[in-house]
């Protein structure tokens, strides 16, 4: 079996591979680029595995006129920049010691050893520079079945890095077959080891949850997280029941992760997920407006079309109601309609009295669904 794609034939990528193979070393594409190429999904990051040591990679890159950057050289990774494009080149590795967050590695010469330390079988696929697939752990059947399964024993893989619990749900949401469901052995291991999540940094947890909730349909995987007790352990008070209706209502709308987070409810996730101030503000707005009664036009005038769309979708999902008629055109109208009264229209007022009158007039205008004119308001 072979993979193909423009990225595979890119002269920059081929020059990095040639740099290694010409010196008698292996150059194997690995991980996401191989997985996505086999699935027909976009390839963004290019990772190359090799039996050359990091020092040897640096030496060969310099000799070839390429730029080596020791981004993670202690763990075997050198970023080789060719024609302005970065390529992560990592020496085959095996784990020597792990603590659930960090691993001490030793360099290896066998691709099977490198594959054995990876998280899921669908991520332990390699490809030669000509596209020929190398499958040391028989991961191709899992990929074709869209079955996300841990490499080796799930408990061992998870205890090496507890973030793999969240990655298991994230990869299932992105690449798994919803009809197949979660891998039972993997799910049981995640539930048994979920206390290890508390030792992870909030930044890592937040990054994984963002990726999970950005999947085309994260509802089945999130429901499994909830049933296993993992979702509530991370985000107390959450309820995933509105997520599936929300995804259905979204249709062609962009799958915004914060909208979906708002659908889960629960306690304030700011600290757990390391939300930015902008995210905190938007989440608070969504939670407030999703149970409010403002019209689509009023929402869009106050918060912009994107956040108004989020609030309307959330409201329909949470209240189990259909979306309002013409909500999209009304949202566009609200976002494009300015408030028709300005301070200059009230020359007889100043200070707090002016502010109070402007606020009163705007409230009346919003209640009119942005229909009252300037003259009607001033009258």
Q: Is the pLDDT of residue 252 over 90?
A: no
Helix (H, G, I), strand (E, B) or coil at 50: strand
pLDDT for the residue numbered 365: 97
Q: Residue 97 above 90 pLDDT?
A: no
CA angle 80, 84, 86 (to 5 degrees): 35
CA distance 358 to 343: 7
| Distance from C-alpha of 43 to C-alpha of 152, rounded to nearest angstrom | 26
- How far is 220 from 362, CA to CA, in rounded Å? 43
Instruction: Give the whole-angstrom CA distance, residue 194 versus residue 155.
Output: 11
Instruction: List pLDDT tens digits, range 189-244.
Output: 999 999 999 999 999 999 999 999 999 999 999 999 999 999 999 999 999 999 99
91: left (phi over 0), alpha (psi -120 to 50) or beta: beta
**CB neighbours of residue 105 within 10 Å:** 19
CA distance 28 to 128: 5
Query: 3-state DSSP call for residue 369?
Result: coil
Mean pLDDT, range 20-41, rounded to an integer: 95
> Using CA atoms, how far apart are residues 320 and 90, in angstroms rounded to an integer?
50
Whether residue 98 is predicted with pLDDT greater than 70 in this model: the reply is no
For residue 96, the model assigns a pLDDT of 63
How much is the average pLDDT of 16-29? 97
Instruction: Check residue 109 and give its pLDDT.
Output: 85
Phi, psi of 313 (to 5 degrees): -65, -45
What pLDDT sits at residue 265? 96
In this predicted structure, what is the pLDDT of residue 100? 53
Q: Contact 61/25 with Cβ under 8 angstroms?
A: no
Cβ atoms of residues 33 and 46 within 8 Å: yes
Q: Is 351 left (phi over 0), alpha (psi -120 to 50) or beta?
A: left
- Asked whether residue 136 carries a pLDDT value surpassing 90, the answer given is yes
**Rounded CA separation 244/249 (Å):** 9
3-class state of residue 32 by DSSP: helix
Which H or E run includes 89?
strand 85-91
pLDDT tens profile 255-310: 999 999 999 999 999 999 999 999 999 999 999 999 999 999 999 999 999 999 99
Give the tokens for residue 278. Answer: 């902008």
Structure-derived torsion over alpha carbons of residues 209, 45, 189, 117, reported in degrees to the nearest 10: -150
Q: State the DSSP string of 162-219.
A: THHHHHHHHHHHHHS-TTT-S-HHHHHHHHHTGGGGGGS-HHHHHHHHHHHHTSS--H
Q: How confident is the model at residue 74 (pLDDT cuts 50, 70, 90)?
A: confident
Q: Are 149 and 121 in contact (CB under 8 A)?
A: yes
Average pLDDT, the chain: 94
> Encoding tokens for residue 105?
């590695």
Round to whole Å and give the CA distance between 315 and 117: 44
Cβ atoms of residues 31 and 114 within 8 Å:
no
């Amino acid at each position: 079996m072979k993979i193909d794609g423009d990225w595979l034939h890119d002269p920059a990528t081929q020059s990095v591979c040639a740099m290694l193979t010409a010196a008698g070393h292996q150059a194997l594409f690995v991980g996401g680029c191989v997985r996505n190429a086999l699935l027909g999904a976009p390839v963004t990051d290019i990772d190359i595995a090799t039996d050359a040591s990091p020092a040897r990679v640096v030496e060969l890159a310099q000799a070839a006129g390429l730029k080596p950057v020791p981004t993670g050289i202690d763990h075997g990774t050198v970023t080789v920049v060719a024609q302005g494009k970065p390529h992560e080149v990592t020496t085959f590795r095996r784990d020597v010691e792990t603590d659930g967050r960090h691993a001490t590695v030793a360099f290896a010469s066998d691709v099977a050893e490198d594959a054995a330390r990876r998280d899921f079988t669908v991520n332990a696929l390699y490809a030669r520079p000509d596209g020929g697939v190398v499958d040391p752990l028989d991961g191709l059947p899992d990929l074709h079945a869209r079955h996300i399964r841990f490499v080796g024993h799930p408990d061992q893989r998870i205890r090496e890095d507890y973030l793999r619990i969240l990655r298991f749900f994230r990869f299932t949401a992105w690449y798994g077959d919803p009809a197949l469901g979660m891998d039972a052995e993997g799910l049981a291991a995640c539930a048994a080891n979920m206390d290890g999540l508390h030792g992870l940094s909030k930044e890592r947890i937040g990054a994984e949850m963002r990726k999970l909730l950005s999947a085309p349909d994260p509802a089945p995987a999130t429901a499994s997280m909830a049933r296993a007790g993992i979702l509530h352990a991370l985000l107390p008070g959450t309820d995933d029941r509105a997520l599936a209706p929300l995804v259905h209502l979204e249709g062609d709308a962009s799958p915004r992760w914060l909208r979906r987070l708002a659908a889960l409810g629960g306690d304030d996730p700011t600290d757990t997920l390391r939300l930015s101030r902008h995210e905190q503000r938007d989440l608070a707005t969504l939670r407030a407006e999703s149970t409010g009664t403002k019209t689509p036009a009023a929402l869009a005038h106050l918060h912009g079309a994107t956040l108004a769309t989020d609030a309307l979708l959330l409201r329909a999902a949470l209240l189990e109601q259909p979306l309002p008629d013409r909500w999209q055109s009304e949202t566009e109208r609200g976002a494009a309609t300015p408030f028709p009264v300005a301070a200059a229209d009230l020359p007889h007022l100043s200070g707090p009295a002016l502010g109070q009158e402007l606020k009163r007039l705007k409230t009346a205008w919003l209640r009119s669904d942005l229909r009252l004119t300037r003259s009607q308001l001033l009258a």
